[in-house]
Structure 1
Amino acid sequence: MKSSIKSKVLFVFALLFGLMFINAGLNKFFNYMPMPSNLPPKMIKAMAAFMEIGWLMPLIGAAEIIGGGLIILPKTRALGALIIFPVMVGIVLTNIVQDTSGLPIALVFSIILIWIMIENRAKYLPLLG
């Protein structure tokens, strides 16, 4: 019984996590969410540098959309987590180095991603040896 509740909770977290990443990825293509007006100058400078590399944001956006979609479905969740992992590392590092105000939510999403990866660890073992 506990396993059933755990899998339902994991599904809800994975669904919300995946939808958030799909939304973030789509925003990189369609720019429908405005940038916060209270970003510190250091973060604005970093975002401008990311935008200067013309292919970087579309690549990250595509990874977010694909990874987010795959994480929602239990059968492809392990692959989605692998795709999102480097993006999540970048999000956490950016929030540590540039502006720590977004760090709490970045850490929550990191914990969700780690939980997803731990739950799918059996699928990763063949990759290690």
Structure 2
Amino acid sequence: MKNKILTVLCILFGLMMINSGLNNFFNYMPMPEMSEEMMQIIGAFMTIKWIFPLVAIVEIIGGFLIAIPKTRALGAIIILPVMVGIFVHHLVLDMSTIGIVLVLLTINIWAIVDNWNKYKPMIEN
């Protein structure tokens, strides 16, 4: 039962990441209202032309991989740096939406913990 719940959550998580990554390329979702500080931060990131496409590609690839049970361990590790960045961003700049971010980060960490035996050979001597 636990495995089925994790599978459903990882599929939903993966779809959210894929959607977010595709939105970075095709801009089909409206931008939320942003503070002046947030606009300056986004503007600064936009001057680094490769950062948003890189994050989008990682979201798309990680989203596909985490949604498929056979590749979930790889997808969970690939998407973790993006999730940590999203968490820190919301923690520092936008606490109003931290709830959903915590849910997504928890799903990501659960997928990593569930696949821990696959990572152990990489860290053992």
TM-score (norm 1): 0.92
1:74 aligns with 2:69: yes
Q: Give the share of equivalent positions with the same residue, in percent.
A: 53
Q: 2:101 aligns with which of 97, 101, 106?
A: 106
Q: 2:34 aligns with which of 29, 39, 42?
A: 39
Moved more, 46-55 or 67-76: 46-55
Structure 1 unaligned blocks of 5 or more? none
Q: Does the 8 Å CA contact 1:40/1:99 hold for their aligned counterparts? A: no
- Describe the SS at the equivalent of 1:35: coil
- Quote the Cα distance in structure 2 between the aligned partners of 1:63 and 1:30: 16
Structure 2 unaligned blocks of 5 or more? none
1:59 aligns with 2:21: no
- Describe the SS at the equivalent of 2:29: coil
TM-superposition CA deviations, 1:72-113 (whole Å, max 9, x none) = 111100000111000001001111122211211111101110
Following TM superposition, by how much is the alpha carbon of 1:40 offset from its aligned partner in structure 2, in angstroms?
2.0
- Quote the Cα distance in structure 2 between the aligned partners of 1:116 and 1:44: 33
1:7 aligns with 2:3: yes
1:126 aligns with 2:121: yes
- Quote the Cα distance in structure 2 between the aligned partners of 1:47 and 1:105: 21
> Could you say what the CA RMSD is over the residues aligned between the two structures, in angstroms?
0.9
- Quote the Cα distance in structure 2 between the aligned partners of 1:73 and 1:85: 16
TM-superposition CA deviations, 1:26-58 (whole Å, max 9, x none) = 01111111101x322222222222222100000
The count of aligned residue pairs is: 124
